[in-house]
């Protein structure tokens, strides 16, 4: 680009073999098209739906589940001489169904987001006016080639990168590329080479918008070689990084796989050496079954369902999530880097203050002001000395002029009627040397001159001033006072335009002399009110907001003050200082900076990279092409749906349909709740699974016989656990999660769940073991002899077990039969354990239906008030699971034939068995609630000395801050009163 900045137009045309007057001929166009390519931006790679599905299908946790499913079929075969039964495939089928459903959900969400993003793409401007073969013609913008001569006019997009040849009041809005909210005046003169895009005053960048004036330019770059093309190319070349949730799930999968394998080995070794070694195949099957039992088969489905529900809720809140796992990433964010223009501000210049009668007034005060002669003339000056056009939804012109028209309209002067009634008869266009514009309008058959311009220039042309509806001579004191007012407004990043008028007899008079000063307006691209609220919510949630903009430091700091992001210059860094720093120096200071001003796209990537190296989970919010590289680099990129460019939307992970910065805070809240729900589900699943494995392992080691069969464990894993765990992610969001700071740095899925998980493991294991031995207490001598006699007298066993002394064995008791008699087959030992198996089965399947509703991982430390978040789907799921358990326990055929539990008659014979076991079922819930109650009360009412001191210090700091804020506000009001005087 540097070559085109400092070279003369003649040299550029010669180098490109182009004619400034006649343009290119057809042959040159064809040659240049072949040489430089079409004027089109590179399209992003679109992954076919089947590859999206396969990628979802072969994620680490899915692979582990599929391996577990295969093992679930092979394991039973080891102990049955490879005899295949249909029930052996139940686990296999269910696990594979879960995996496939999860992959379908992920694929559906990805394709749905892609479709929504395509619908949001803005309409392109495909036409361009070009001079070729000496004639002016309209062609497709994509057919432009290097060397073409292009004609520009207000209201049109610039179709390629051009060097300005001629310019007449040309103003270009470059905010999508540079982030600068105010249109830039362009020139055809040579300038000194610079690397800052915002200072390339003789270049028109592709896809920027012409707001005013006319120009002719020569195409110097097309397509991928343009600034926007380079950005689009860099985004397409970037490899997609795994989200924090994907990284955490990968680590979690590895840990679970190692834990499962280790437990399987330990359990097999313990059973083999403590029991009958000839039954090794049975022990191997038990070990494999329990190892598989640790793996949370339904976790993938839980995550997908939870994320899908959250994505749907976010869609209702005007947020499109392109990738499901990006929802959780939002919740992990602790730094939001955001563009200013169009994101924090309205991207619309607005008159905020008026300077009339030598004092500053709020613009809103004039909305109900009684229109007097002074205000009437002032409003006419705003509208008539103005080239902008507004008609319906179409708004063409310089944003500052559009702002003047908007203010006049809401204050009572209709722009179109005024221009029709007071026709323009003469004008002196604005130019950069005079810094003024003048029109002559016919008002009541008199020539009225209206002039607007920079106050320091316009004031030199004024001999009079209107004060309180009275025209008098302007004094030096007036001029000094007005210039001081202008300086004050400029320090607040307000753009000041002054207005004057006079009445003349004929148009041959000097139009810009002997004027009467009417006043001035001060305007700015104001902050969104919702953005102010959103920044406050972010602070409360411990999320730091960093503003990154292409505007000047003064403007950026003024906006930051309005947003309460920064207060003084030490928190602002400009691109010049940033360029002087290496990455290590930036790393050292990055945490102290709240505003980055006058930055280029590559600066944004450096900033995001430095924040990430600091251990921050970083979000980048923006709408322009200049934001796209940093959107792609950030952990979570958030693009604007209305004002956002296609390039920005392509690079982002999330799109805000309503362009409201506050919506991203809703996304953070949703993300935190998603993560909490996933962790709650993991706590529940692992807690229950490990409790089951531990209790079965302990009982199997002591008794040499597993207290449960594979069908019992399968019922637990696939019916009760899945039914309840799937509903964990369907509940209401917990508002307390937005009152604490996010954890900086590594935050694994295991972090913060150990205490809750250990409570489940401890209470459920104890109650399960107690339930087993309580059930086995019904196996007395008579009952044991009855079972042994029935087995001995079976026609298939008479010959083999004729010498079996059932009376002696019955006197020894069931425990000794288990431990000391390897000659008794394992099948008989399993039958002896029906009472114990039924009791432990009832405990491990029914207890989770209760305590699943009381797993508390939310931030209860934030308030002394108990904040219980209801989860109706979980309550319903718990009742369904309990009903299924009732069917399993009490329906004949299912209880004794399929699950090898007691038949229904046994419950009537031992009526007190059910109440006791029910007491053991509710005991884990009672124990968990008691522990939580003790922890809650001790935390809030009996804090330890260190935390009590911290609390006192925090209260002192809050009081000091409040006093300082009050003193600052008092000083500010005092200063404002002095200025008004």
The last residue of one of the domains, among 179, 205, 221, is: 221
pLDDT at 976: 57
* Co-location of 354 and 338 in the same domain: no
Q: Is 481 within the bounds of a domain? A: yes
What average pLDDT does the segment 62-67 reach?
70
The stretch 260-268 carries a mean pLDDT of 80
Q: Please give the residue that has the higher pLDDT: either 114 or 783.
A: 783
Label residue 776 by pLDDT band (50, 70, 90).
very high
437 lies in the same domain as 559: no
pLDDT at 117 (0 to 100): 46
Single out the residue in 474, 498, 524 at which a domain terminates. 524
Angle between helix 661-703 and 280-294 (nearest 10):
160
Mean pLDDT of 854-880: 75
- Tell whether the model's pLDDT for residue 142 goes beyond 90: no
Tell which residue, 146, 313, 117, has the closest CA to residue 218. Answer: 146
Per-residue model confidence (pLDDT) at position 124: 40
Is the model more confident about 69 or about 143? 143
Q: What span, in angstroms and rounded, lies between the C-alpha atoms of 327 and 192?
A: 47
Tokens of 164: 């300005």
What's the total number of domains in the chain? 4
Rounded mean pLDDT, 717-730 = 76
Domain boundary among 197, 221, 245: 221
- Residue 26 in any domain: the answer is yes
Q: Cα angle vertex 465, ends 464, 469, to 5°?
A: 125
Q: Identify the pLDDT of residue 474.
A: 93
Same-domain pairing of 519 and 560? no
pLDDT at 764: 95
Please say if the pLDDT value at position 128 is more than 80.
yes
Q: What is the pLDDT of residues 784-796, one digit of tens each?
A: 888 888 888 888 7
Instruction: Identify whether the C-beta of residue 56 lies closer than 8 Å to the C-beta of residue 106.
Output: yes
Q: What single string gives the DSSP state of each residue in 276-345?
A: -GGGHHHHHHHHHHHHHHHS-TTHHHHHHHHHHHHHHHHHHTTEEESSTTHHHHHHH--EEEEEIIIIIB
Query: Is residue 411 domain-shared with residue 443, that is, in the same domain?
Result: yes
The pLDDT of residue 519 is 94
Q: What is the pLDDT of residue 158?
A: 87
Beta bridge partners of 184: 172
Residue 448, pLDDT > 90, answer yes
Whether 520 has a pLDDT exceeding 90, the answer reads: yes
**Closest residue by Cα to residue 600 from 223, 161, 231, 198:** 198
Q: What is the pLDDT of residue 835?
A: 92
C-alpha angle 68-72-77 in degrees, rounded to nearest 5 = 145
For residue 183, the domain's CATH number is 2.70.150.10
In a domain, 847, yes or no: no
More confident residue, 971 or 207: 207
**Residue 248: per-residue pLDDT:** 74
Three state DSSP letters for 686-749: HHHHHHHHHHHHHHHHHHCCCCCCHHHHHHHHHHHHHHHHHHHCCCCCCHHHHHCCCCCCCCCC
Q: What band does 125 get if pLDDT is binned at 50, 70 and 90?
A: very low
pLDDT at res. 38: 82
Most confident of 88-97, 282-291, 299-308, 841-850: 841-850
In a domain, 899, yes or no: no
Supply 87's token pair: 């029930």
Q: Is residue 501 domain-resident?
A: yes
pLDDT (tens digit, 9 = 90+) per residue, 227-243? 877 777 766 655 555 66
CA 459 – CA 435 distance, rounded (Å) = 12
CB-CB contact of 610 with 590 (8 Å): yes
* Spatial distance between the Cα atoms of 153 and 211, rounded to a whole number of angstroms: 8
Is 616 domain-assigned? yes
What's the whole-model pTM score?
0.70
Rounded Cα–Cα distance for residues 37 and 146 (Å): 9
Q: Average pLDDT in the 382-398 region?
A: 82
pLDDT surpasses 90 at 925: yes
Digit-coded pLDDT (tens) for 453-493: 999 999 999 999 999 889 999 999 999 999 999 988 988 88
Compute the distance between CA of residue 172 and CA of residue 438 in angstroms, rounded to an integer.
21
Q: Are 338 and 378 within one domain?
A: no
What's the domain range around 483? 350-524
Whether the pLDDT of residue 919 is over 70: the answer is yes
382: nearest Cα among 439, 324, 421, 432: 439
| pLDDT, position 518 | 95
Whether residue 943 contacts residue 869, with contact meaning beta carbons closer than 8 Å, is answered with no
Residue with the two structure tokens 């062609």: 139
Are both 505 and 624 inside the same structural domain?
no
641 in the same domain as 599: yes
Instruction: Give the Cα separation of 18 and 36 in Å (integer).
Output: 15
Distances (CA, A) of 398 to 179, 264, 271, 371, 643: 16, 73, 83, 27, 18
Per-residue pLDDT at 863: 64
Residues above pLDDT 90, as percent of the chain: 18
The string over 392-422, giving b where at least 16 C-beta atoms fall within 10 Å of a residue's C-beta and e elsewhere, is eeebbbbbbbbbbbbbbbebebebeebbeeb
Report pLDDT digits (tens) over 343-359: 788 878 899 999 999 99
Catalytic residue at 339? Answer: yes
Ranges 88-97, 425-434, 536-545: which has the least confidence: 88-97
Q: What is the mean pLDDT of residues 390-416?
A: 85
Contact in structure between 434 and 457 (CB atoms under 8 Å): yes
Whole-Å CA distances, 722 to 228, 297, 454, 878, 880? 49, 8, 71, 11, 11
Q: Over the stretch 569-611, which tens digit does the pLDDT of each residue have?
A: 888 998 888 888 888 899 999 999 999 988 877 788 899 999 9
State the average pLDDT over residues 156-180: 82
In a domain, 613, yes or no: yes
Which stretches within 385-434 are classed as H helix? 399-411, 415-421
Same structural domain, 476 and 582: no
Mean pLDDT of 7-33: 86
Instruction: Judge if 322 and 372 occupy the same domain.
Output: no
What's the CA gap between 626 and 549, in Å, rounded?
Answer: 10
For residue 178, give both structure tokens.
């540079």
Residue pair 732/870 in contact by the 8 Å Cβ criterion: yes
Same domain, 389 and 512: yes
Same domain as 152, residue 31 = yes
Does residue 76 carry a pLDDT above 70?
no
Query: CA-CA distance, 227 to 628, in Å (whole number)?
Result: 12
Chain-centroid distance, C-alpha 870: 25
User: Which sign, positive or negative, has the C-alpha torsion 13, 14, 20, 25?
Assistant: negative
Distance CA 549, CA 598 (A): 6
| CATH (domain of 661) | 3.40.50.1000
**Total Cβ atoms within 10 A of residue 193:** 13
Residue 622: how many other CB atoms lie within 10 Å: 33
pLDDT confidence of 79, banded at 50, 70, 90?
Answer: low
CATH of the domain at 417: 3.40.1110.10
Q: Kind of pairing, strands 335-339 and 544-548? A: parallel
Residues 364 and 403 in one domain: yes
Domain assignment of residue 299, yes or no:
no
Q: What is the mean pLDDT of the chain?
A: 81
The pLDDT of residue 120: 42
What pLDDT score was predicted for residue 737?
79
Is 63's pLDDT higher than 80? Answer: no
Of 148, 339, 398, 627, the active-site residue reads 339
**H helices within 801-833, ranges in order?**
806-812, 814-820, 826-832
pLDDT at residue 123, as a whole number:
36
């Amino acid at each position: 680009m540097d070559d085109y900045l400092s070279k003369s137009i003649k040299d550029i045309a010669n180098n490109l073999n182009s004619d400034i007057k006649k343009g290119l001929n057809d042959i040159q166009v064809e040659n240049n098209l072949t040489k430089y390519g079409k004027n089109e931006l590179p399209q992003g790679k679109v992954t076919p739906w089947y590859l999206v599905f396969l990628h979802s299908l072969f994620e680490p946790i899915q692979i582990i589940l599929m391996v577990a499913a295969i093992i679930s079929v092979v394991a039973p075969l080891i102990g049955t001489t490879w005899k295949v039964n249909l029930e052996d495939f139940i686990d296999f089928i269910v696990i594979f169904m879960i995996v496939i459903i999860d992959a379908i959900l992920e694929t559906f969400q990805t394709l749905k987001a892609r479709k929504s993003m395509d619908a949001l793409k803005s309409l392109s401007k495909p036409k361009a006016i070009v001079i070729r073969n000496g004639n002016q013609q309209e062609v497709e913008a994509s057919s432009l080639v290097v060397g073409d001569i292009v004609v520009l006019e207000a209201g049109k997009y610039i179709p390629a990168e051009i060097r300005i040849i001629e310019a007449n009041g040309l103003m270009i809005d470059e905010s999508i590329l540079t982030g600068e909210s105010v249109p830039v005046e362009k020139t055809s003169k040579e300038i000194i080479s610079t690397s800052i895009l915002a200072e390339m005053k003789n270049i028109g960048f592709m896809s920027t918008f012409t707001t005013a004036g006319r120009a002719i330019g020569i195409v110097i770059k097309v397509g991928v070689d343009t600034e926007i093309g380079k950005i689009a190319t860099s985004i397409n070349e970037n490899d997609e990084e795994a989200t924090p949730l994907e990284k955490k799930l990968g680590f979690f999968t590895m840990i679970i796989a190692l834990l499962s394998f280790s437990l399987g080995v330990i359990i097999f070794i313990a059973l083999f050496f403590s029991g009958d070694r000839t039954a090794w195949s049975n022990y191997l099957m038990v070990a494999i079954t329990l190892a598989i039992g640790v793996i949370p088969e339904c976790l993938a489905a839980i995550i997908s369902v939870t994320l899908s529900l959250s994505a749907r809720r976010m869609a209702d809140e005007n947020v499109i999530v392109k990738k499901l796992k990006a929802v959780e990433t939002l919740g992990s964010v602790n730094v939001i880097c955001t563009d200013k223009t169009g994101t924090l501000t309205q991207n619309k210049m607005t008159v905020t203050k008026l300077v009339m009668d030598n004092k500053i007034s709020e613009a809103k005060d004039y909305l109900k002001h009684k229109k007097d002669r002074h205000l009437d003339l002032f409003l006419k000056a705003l509208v008539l000395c103005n080239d902008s056009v507004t008609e319906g939804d179409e708004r063409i012109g310089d944003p500052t002029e559009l702002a003047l028209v908007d203010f006049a309209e809401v204050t009572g002067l209709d722009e179109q009627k005024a221009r029709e009634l007071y026709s323009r008869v003469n004008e002196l266009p604005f130019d950069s040397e005079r810094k003024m514009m003048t029109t002559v309008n016919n008002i009541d058959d008199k020539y009225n001159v209206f002039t607007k311009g920079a106050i320091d220039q316009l004031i030199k042309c004024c001999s009079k001033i209107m004060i309180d509806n009275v025209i008098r001579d302007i004094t030096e004191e007036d001029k000094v006072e007005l210039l001081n007012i202008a300086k004050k407004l400029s320090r607040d990043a307000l753009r000041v335009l002054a207005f004057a008028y006079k009445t003349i007899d004929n148009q041959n008079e000097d139009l810009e002399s002997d004027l009467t000063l009417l006043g001035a307006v001060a305007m700015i691209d104001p902050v969104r009110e919702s953005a102010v609220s959103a920044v406050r919510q972010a602070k409360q949630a411990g999320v730091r907001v960093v503003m990154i903009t292409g505007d000047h430091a003064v403007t950026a700091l003024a906006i930051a003050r309005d947003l309460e992001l920064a207060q003084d210059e030490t928190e602002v860094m400009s691109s010049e200082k940033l360029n002087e720093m290496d990455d290590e120096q930036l790393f050292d200071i990055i945490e102290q900076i709240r505003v980055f001003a006058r930055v280029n796209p590559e600066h944004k990537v450096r900033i995001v990279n430095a924040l990430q190296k600091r251990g921050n989970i970083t979000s980048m919010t923006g709408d322009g092409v200049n934001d796209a590289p940093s959107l792609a680099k950030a952990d979570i990129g958030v693009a604007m749906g209305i004002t956002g460019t296609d390039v920005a939307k392509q690079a982002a992970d999330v799109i805000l349909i309503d362009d409201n910065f506050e919506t991203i805070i809703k996304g953070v809240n949703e993300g935190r709740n998603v993560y909490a729900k996933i962790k709650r589900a993991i706590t529940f699943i692992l807690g229950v699974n490990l409790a089951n494995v531990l209790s079965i392992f302990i009982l199997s080691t002591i008794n040499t016989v597993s207290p449960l069969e594979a069908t019992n464990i399968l019922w637990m894993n696939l019916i009760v656990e899945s039914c309840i765990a799937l509903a964990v992610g369907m509940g209401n969001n917990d508002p307390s999660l937005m009152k604490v700071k996010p954890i900086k740095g590594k935050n694994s899925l295991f972090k913060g769940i150990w205490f809750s998980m250990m409570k489940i493991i401890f209470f459920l294991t104890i109650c399960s073991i107690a339930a087993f031995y309580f059930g086995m207490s019904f196996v007395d001598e008579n009952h044991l002899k009855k079972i042994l006699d029935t087995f001995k007298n079976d026609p298939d066993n008479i010959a083999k077990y004729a010498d079996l002394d059932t009376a002696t064995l019955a006197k020894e008791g069931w425990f000794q039969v288990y431990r000391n008699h390897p000659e008794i087959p394992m099948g008989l030992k399993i039958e002896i354990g029906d009472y114990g198996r039924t009791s432990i089965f009832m405990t491990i399947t029914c207890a989770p239906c209760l305590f699943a509703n009381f797993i508390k991982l939310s931030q209860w430390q934030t308030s002394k008030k108990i904040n219980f978040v209801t989860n109706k789907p979980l309550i319903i799921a718990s009742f369904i699971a309990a009903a299924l358990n009732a069917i399993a326990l009490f329906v004949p055929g299912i209880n004794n034939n399929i699950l090898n539990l007691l038949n229904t008659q046994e419950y009537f014979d031992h009526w007190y068995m059910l109440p006791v076991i029910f007491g053991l079922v509710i005991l884990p819930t009672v124990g968990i609630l008691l522990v939580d109650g003790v922890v809650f009360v001790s935390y809030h009412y009996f804090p330890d000395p260190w935390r009590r001191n911290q609390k006192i210090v925090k209260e002192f700091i809050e009081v000091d801050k409040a006093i300082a804020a009050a003193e600052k506000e008092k000083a500010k009001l005092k200063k404002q009163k002095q200025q008004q005087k």
